[in-house]
């Protein structure tokens, strides 16, 4: 029998980490991901795993880096403001090519912004910090998917030796849903023979993992290896879901919690005779660019729904290559243009109707 639980989106990610055999969690409290760090503080020590509350996100991301160096499955979670703080550490992790999972429960910005839901970290998560590296970005749209994508994130991280960002948002994190708790099965992974455990573990040959690929060793080799890795991920790991897309005249593109409002609007539009469909990217990097490009053969109207001033719309624009009209339902279309506002399906429906 599959275990079921009524849990918040944040806790679902925590359960996902437990089911993925993540053994080390390092975090720092920030709204709206507090349920996650509290969950980890409750559950991890009981399971004999490591929970550490760091003094800052600088420290927590570097602790993740240290733990990942030793070959264990490590993760941290944070929200937008502190996700910015973590960027240097994430760049460091990218230079060392360490597998780990970073959860970003998005809140409003810029600055301290708001403590409420938003989707304003899209560009930061997919375009990354200094140094031109890439990372896999996964975006769940329900607690169930959050639970499953967390397990997938750890698998992909180990498969490619890359860090994976799980881009959740405040609404999703705080929302309670019924989740089926089930361990996902993945193909076997290669061993972590590169892990640092003291030179005795490697027959007294030292392991030297460093964050300066341009100073130590061959920079060319590093760049070549990274490029090959990114190309492979782009080829093999693109994930998305489509709803009612076959006969659609207008395609909504949306990810995360906003995709739920978009989905409702899409079905309401269909009831009113408008042929709408929904395209929901699950991997934001690699972005399903080809799938969207292919749709432009017979679909010329795209409506991007995201709770920001327009970030994913840039990727959609690149994908359609000028072959379609793109409009945005963004933060300006929240039901209340304040910190507590959110995009409702009513507004999306209005936009669908007035498209053109």
Q: Which of 111, 215, 336, 337 binds other proteins (CB under 8 A)?
A: 215
Q: Does the protein bind other proteins through residue 47 (CB under 8 A)?
A: no
- Total residues at the site for other proteins (CB under 8 A)? 51
| Contact present, 327 and 304 (Cβ < 8 Å) | yes
10 Å Cβ neighbour count for 211?
Answer: 15
Phi-psi bin for 165: left (phi > 0), alpha (psi -120 to 50), beta?
A: beta
Rounded (10°) angle between helices 143-160 and 9-19: 40
Q: Does the protein bind other proteins through residue 58 (CB under 8 A)?
A: yes
Q: Which is nearer to other proteins, 71 or 170 (CB)?
A: 71
| Segment lying near other proteins (by CB under 8 A), choices 65-73, 270-278, 282-290, 303-311 | 65-73
x/- track of binding to other proteins for residues 162-201 (CB under 8 A) = --------------------------------x-xxxxxx
Q: Which residues contact 190 (CB under 8 A, 6 or more apart)?
A: none
Query: Min. distance of Cβ 268 from other proteins in angstroms?
Result: 49
Residues in 98-157 at the binding interface with other proteins, rule: CB under 8 A = none
Supply 194's token pair: 């590169």
Query: Min. distance of Cβ 54 from other proteins in angstroms?
Result: 7
Closest CA to 74 of 110, 99, 55: 99
Q: Does the protein bind other proteins through residue 340 (CB under 8 A)?
A: no
Query: Min. distance of Cβ 25 from other proteins in angstroms?
Result: 10
- Three-state SS for 335? coil
Q: Does the protein bind other proteins through residue 210 (CB under 8 A)?
A: yes
Q: Which residues contact 109 (CB under 8 A, 6 or more apart)?
A: 80, 81, 118, 120, 121
Q: Which residues contact 129 (CB under 8 A, 6 or more apart)?
A: 87, 88, 90, 91
Q: Which is nearer to other proteins, 68 or 269 (CB)?
A: 68
User: Footprint of other proteins on this chain (CB under 8 A)?
Assistant: 24, 26, 50, 52, 54-56, 58-60, 62-72, 74, 88-89, 92, 95-97, 194, 196-201, 203-213, 215-218, 222
């Amino acid at each position: 029998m599959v275990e079921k639980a009524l849990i918040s989106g944040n806790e679902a990610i925590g359960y996902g980490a437990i089911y993925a055999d993540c053994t080390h969690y390092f975090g720092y409290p920030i709204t709206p991901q507090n349920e996650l760090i509290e969950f980890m503080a409750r559950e991890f020590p009981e399971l004999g795993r490591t929970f550490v509350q760091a003094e800052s996100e600088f420290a927590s991301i570097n602790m993740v880096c240290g733990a990942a160096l030793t070959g264990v499955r490590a993760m941290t979670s944070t929200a937008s403001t502190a996700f910015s703080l973590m960027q240097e550490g994430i760049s460091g992790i990218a230079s060392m090519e360490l597998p780990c999972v970073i959860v970003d429960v998005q809140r409003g910005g810029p600055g301290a912004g708001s403590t409420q839901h938003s989707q304003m970290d899209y560009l930061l998560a997919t375009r990354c910090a200094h140094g031109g590296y890439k990372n896999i970005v996964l975006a769940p749209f329900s607690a169930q998917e959050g639970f499953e994508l967390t397990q997938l994130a750890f698998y992909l991280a180990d498969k490619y030796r890359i860090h994976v960002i799980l881009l959740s948002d405040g609404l999703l994190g705080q929302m309670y849903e019924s989740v089926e708790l089930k361990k996902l099965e993945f193909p076997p992974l290669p061993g972590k023979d590169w892990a640092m455990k003291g030179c005795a573990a490697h027959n007294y040959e030292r392991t030297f993992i460093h964050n300066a690929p341009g100073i130590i060793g061959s920079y060319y080799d590093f760049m070549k290896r990274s490029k090959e890795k990114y190309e492979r991920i782009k080829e093999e790991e693109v994930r998305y879901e489509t709803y009612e897309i076959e006969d659609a005249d207008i395609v909504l593109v949306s990810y995360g919690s906003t995709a739920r409002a978009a989905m409702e609007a899409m079905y309401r539009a269909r009831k009113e005779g408008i042929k709408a469909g929904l395209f929901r990217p699950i991997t934001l990097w690699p972005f399903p660019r080809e799938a969207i490009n292919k749709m432009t053969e017979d679909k010329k109207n795209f409506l991007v729904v995201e709770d920001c001033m327009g970030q994913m719309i840039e990727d959609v624009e690149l994908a359609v290559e000028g072959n379609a009209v793109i409009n945005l339902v963004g933060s300006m279309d929240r039901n209340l243009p304040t910190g507590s506002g959110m995009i409702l399906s009513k507004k999306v429906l209005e936009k669908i109707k007035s498209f053109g």
